[in-house]
Chains A and B, each alone.
Chain A
Amino acid sequence: MYQKPEDWRSLFEAVLFELPAGMQRLLLGAADAGVEVEQSASKAHHAWTSLTGAMIDAVYVRTGFWDAVLDNLNAVLRVQRLAQAAAKVLVAALGPSIGLASTSEIDALEDEIIRLRRELNDLHRKLELQPGAETGLRRVK
């Protein structure tokens, strides 16, 4: 949650001193400069990750960020519920007249399909040959 001073120190060390020095050596063709630059970059990255993570946590916990998110979510959900209700009215009113099933029939059919798929899944799993099958288990109803 709190930004650690050692992360700031690591970030400054890496960005202000180690990286520029390493880059300079790399441009001059020093053999081990690549490793040096990668290590400095990694050090800077870890420090930055830690500092940014702490900052984001602080924003979440100490500001009205979540309140704003939840207000927006509520607004979106209200619109969605309205659209759903309108669509249901439309289907209920027009569906049967053009030969479509009613919403309750569709819901019941969906539930039945889910039940059948689960049954099939169970049967499929039972038929699969699994090692270590000799356990003498009884199926509990």
Chain B
Amino acid sequence: MERAEIFSFFTALNSYWLDGAVRMLEGARRGVSNYYPLEEDPPGATPFQIVYSTSRLSLRYYAAQGERRRTPLLLVYALIKRPFILDLLKGRSVVESLNRQGFDVYLVDWLPPTRRDMRAGFDTYINEELCAVVSAVAQISGHDRIDVLGYCLGGLLAVLWSALYPERVKNLVTLATPINTEVADNALYSLISKVGDATVELITDTYGNCPATLINACFTAVAPIHHLIAKYQELHFNRQNSRYAAFFEMFERWINSDVAMAGRFFSELTDRFFRENPLMRQSFELAGDHVDLRRITCPLLNVVGKHDDVVPPDSSLALIDLVGSTDKHNLIFPTGHVGAAVSAGAHKLLWPQVGQWLAQRDQ
């Protein structure tokens, strides 16, 4: 090994930072524009069709490969960032993995909100949009009861929806889902719980929706060492590996694909959800209806990332004791928040297990 190579990381760091700054600025441009340029999303690894759309969402259909399972699977993605993390690259795609296991997959692609959506809150996303999506899936597939898989905030929406409409859910899978918000020693939860009414009001008065740049800034601020140095070190050590470089590029594109959050949803999330911790107190109400998680009686698989620092394990694990299901399991996997969707380990071990769990209940 040349002596110069030993210190090459430090000389390369400048170019990594410059590239990172360009990606961040590109993300900021997409985030602050009134119309998020959806056409700039990468095409994805798996072919799909849009089978239903409203002004707030597109429903994508990914057809099963090989022997087809009976029940369609609805993936409810989070409301922040674009959903291409679930179909990032061949071999690192959740959708592809589920298709290969015979599942017809429907993915809810929440469209970035515009000024007109600033009054959309939990009620709109759950009682209007998710209900319409499930009806669409039922009409297309011919199945009234479907499997639902929710990721992160999408998991929260899926849980709330399942509690309100339990008769429509056959099996529920939650992945890195925030439930208990009184979790000690987590930087992100600590920040969100401190966002007071004044800040929320100022943000929504000024912008209508919570801007994507603010959301991105929050995530960057809670893990500065990772974003400034650690990820570039990994890239540098893998610089001869072209597949890693391609993965890094796509992943960074996703990291900078933040979208705004509808004003009312942002307000309800910070105030009603994070500060009041209503699911643990069984006091969550939606459009006057009490959301009782004990009404969820379908089989439940709660997938938790052991090293998740965005939604800490203690926050997700609380779900299992709140639901009325008898067939319920926690699956704690040694990964982080996003690693559950993209890591090689998750695609080798986690997603086959999730598929198998669903397949066993596909009667």
Which A residues are within 8 Å of any B CB, using their own CB? 1, 26, 34-35, 37-38, 41-42, 45, 49, 52-53, 56-57, 60-61, 66-67, 69-70, 73-74, 77-78, 80-81, 84, 107, 110-111, 113-115, 117-118, 121-122, 124-126, 130-133, 135, 137-140
Contact = CB atoms under 8 A, between A and B. Distances in A.
Interface in B110-169: 111, 114-116, 135-136, 139-140
A74 B140 CA distance: 48
Contacts of A111: 114-116
A-side interface mostly: helix
Contact of B140 (A114, A117, A131, A137): A137
Contact of A66 (B63, B191, B202): B191
Interface stretch (B24-32, B223-231, B295-303): B223-231
B2 A74 contact: no
Given A38-B1, A60-B190, A80-B206, 12 more contacts: A26-B6, A34-B1, A41-B6, A49-B229, A66-B191, A70-B194, A78-B202, A122-B58, A125-B50, A131-B47, A132-B47, A140-B139
Contacts of A132: 47, 63
B309 to A, nearest CB: 8
8 nearest A-B residue pairs (beta carbon): A34-B1, A77-B202, A1-B185, A60-B187, A140-B136, A130-B47, A81-B206, A61-B190
B205 A81 contact: yes
Interface residues of B, number: 53
A134 to B, nearest CB: 9
B67 interface: no
Contacts of B135: 140
Contact of A53 (B3, B205, B206, B223): B223
B51 interface: yes
A115 B114 CA distance: 10
B198 A138 contact: no
Interface of B: 1-3, 5-6, 34-35, 38-39, 47-53, 55, 58, 61, 63, 111, 114-116, 135-136, 139-140, 184-187, 190-191, 194-196, 198-199, 202-203, 205-206, 221-226, 229-230, 233, 237
A139 to B, nearest CB: 7
A117 B184 CA distance: 44
Contacts of B34: 110, 114
A135 B61 contact: yes
Contacts, number: 109
Contacts of A60: 187, 190-191, 222
B206 A84 contact: yes
10 contacts: A38-B6, A53-B225, A56-B224, A57-B187, A61-B185, A67-B194, A118-B111, A122-B53, A133-B49, A140-B139
A78 B237 CA distance: 45
A57 B195 CA distance: 17
A135 B50 CA distance: 12
Contact of A45 (B35, B53, B195, B233): B233
Contacts of A69: 221
B5 A34 contact: yes
A138 B202 CA distance: 44
B320 to A, nearest CB: 24
Given A34-B2, A60-B222, A138 B199 contact: no
A76 to B, nearest CB: 9
A109 to B, nearest CB: 11
A81 B39 CA distance: 31
B49 A135 contact: yes
